[in-house]
Amino acid sequence: MSIDIKSWAKKYKELTDSDETIQAMAKYYTCSFLFDMGDAKAIIEMHDGKVKNINTNPGGLDPYDFALRASANTWREFARPVPKPMFHGIYAASFRRDLLIEGNHLVLMQNIRNFVVQFELLRKSGVPV
């Protein structure tokens, strides 16, 4: 059962902004990324470890640093409390499943520790697909 994307964005922002791990190490965590879940897309803008904005209706020209694109099924698997093998992380899914990582990989790698912690918050927030 999917949730409304606006409700998801609000919950995801709250989880991110209150996460102790992110706040402890994310002073310079500033970037933007696209979650492309098929029918649902969101650009998350981070600034100094806080969610600055979540664009839940991005247009084709809205900017972001990097993107994660996958089927709705893959996103649902990511959001399970205990994901199946090969859905436990972005690289496993990109090697063996349908996840594509596009854009500026340097920005992703500069922020990978914080991004992975934030990505795993999907297990608490669910996904809107």
Q: Using one digit for the tens of pLDDT, what is the confidence trace for 32-66?
A: 999 999 999 999 999 999 999 999 999 999 999 99
**CATH domain 5-124 topology:** Nonspecific Lipid-transfer Protein; Chain A (3.30.1050)
Could you give the CA distance from residue 83 to residue 64 in angstroms, rounded to a whole number?
27
Average pLDDT, the chain: 94
Q: What is the pLDDT of residue 89?
A: 87
- Please say if the pLDDT value at position 82 is more than 80: yes
Comparing CA positions, the residue from 37, 46, 47 lying closest to residue 100 is 37
Write down the domain spans for the chain.
5-124
Amino acid at 94: S
E strand residue ranges, 74-116: 100-103
The larger pLDDT score, comparing residue 114 to residue 96, is at: 114
- Please say if the pLDDT value at position 1 is more than 70: no
Q: What is the pLDDT of residue 95?
A: 84
- Please say if the pLDDT value at position 2 is more than 70: no
- Please say if the pLDDT value at position 9 is more than 90: yes
Q: What is the pLDDT of residue 3?
A: 86
Q: Around 11, how many Cα atoms within 13 Å sit in the side-chain half-sphere?
A: 14
* Residue 94 near residue 66, CB atoms below 8 Å: no
With a CB cutoff of 8 Å and minimum separation 6, the contacts of 24 are none
